[in-house]
Structure 1
Amino acid sequence: MNTTPSSIAVTIPAEAQYIDIVRLALYGIAEKAGFSFEQLEDLKVAVTEACTNAVLHAYGSGQPGVIDVRIDLDNQGIRICIKDDGNSFNYDHTVQQFVSHHLKSLNDVKAGGLGLFLMHALMDNVEVRTDRGTEVILTKRIGRKEEMA
């Protein structure tokens, strides 16, 4: 991996059919950086969840919007910022909801909020900022070569 930081930014319409563009860019960058197949899959799932949340929840029905994605790469790993300027949500309340999911049977759990749970499970660090729109920052450290074997 390069020792100097590099980044790429892409802005897509907040529509489901454009999420693949983000996934393809992410895959190309992370694969060249040396992430393992398993790490690549984790990255793709987490980013897809964050982008899908923006598509489904940020903008009202039929209201146009965009999703800004920035991928930063350095010798430590990768950092992906997914940002929208649409409707935000109460992150603390959502976290409490998926913590309470652990106390219920799977049949009693409602859909929604599990995307955040997946992001936390798959990434090394997840930050969510909801002060103006929503920004999700996903961080994954690259494994050492012996861990990737």
Structure 2
Amino acid sequence: MSIWWSLHLRREAASVPLARRLLLDAMRTAGVDPDISFDLSVALTEACANAVEHGGDERSSGEGPGAYRVTAYLDGERCRIEVADSGPGFPSRRVVRRTAATAQASATAENGRGLRMIEQFADHVHVRNRPGHGAVVSFDKVLKWRGDALLSVG
């Protein structure tokens, strides 16, 4: 069995805990291990906060002006989450050779920390731009189930 849900949210700070709470409640009800639920909720919080802060202007897009979309899929052994916004997208990434100095600079940088946190809590992270329509951050994680899980893979 699988479940999915999608939310269209205003780019307001109050939308972030709402998305997190819905994800946590759905995973708890389904029987997902609490540690996995926590990891995914932290990653979702960071992705939503990024969409609220950087994800749009007043122009119309597929998500609507000043809005973003969260979609979560719990399917079999994996949870996949996508956060799509209507902003300018992510700047082109340049390949940077990681050294102790660049790692230290990266850790204290004002931008990009949320994406690094998502990478720490998820198994796979994909960031893509939708030219003229914003950006999508998607991430997934292999699920572990409690013994009394309703949706566990058997």
Structure 2 unaligned spans of 5+: 148-154
Any residues of structure 2 matched to 1:1-149 within 5 Å, and which? 4-60=1-57, 64-90=65-91, 92-93=93-94, 96=96, 99=98, 103-105=102-104, 109-132=108-131, 133-143=134-144
One-letter code aligned to 1:121: Q
Q: CA deviation at 1:58?
A: 1.7
User: CA offsets, 1:82-112, max 9 Å, x none?
Assistant: 001111112524x849x56764446983222
Secondary structure at 2:44 match in 1 = helix
Q: How many residues align?
A: 140
Secondary structure at 1:130 match in 2 = strand
Q: CA deviation at 1:55?
A: 0.9
> How far apart in 1 are the matches of 2:125 and 2:118?
7
CA RMSD of aligned residues (A): 2.8
CA contact (8 A) 1:101 1:109 kept: no
CA contact (8 A) 1:81 1:135 kept: yes
CA contact (8 A) 1:23 1:47 kept: yes
Q: CA deviation at 1:5?
A: 2.5
Structure 1 unaligned spans of 5+: none
TM normalised by structure 2 equals 0.77
Q: CA deviation at 1:144?
A: 5.7
Q: Comparing both structures, which one devotes a greater share of its residues to helix? A: 1
Q: CA deviation at 1:32?
A: 2.1
> How far apart in 1 are the matches of 2:117 and 2:107?
18
CA contact (8 A) 1:86 1:134 kept: yes
Secondary structure at 1:16 match in 2 = coil
CA contact (8 A) 1:68 1:82 kept: yes
CA contact (8 A) 2:33 2:145 kept: no
> How far apart in 2 are the matches of 1:127 and 1:107?
19
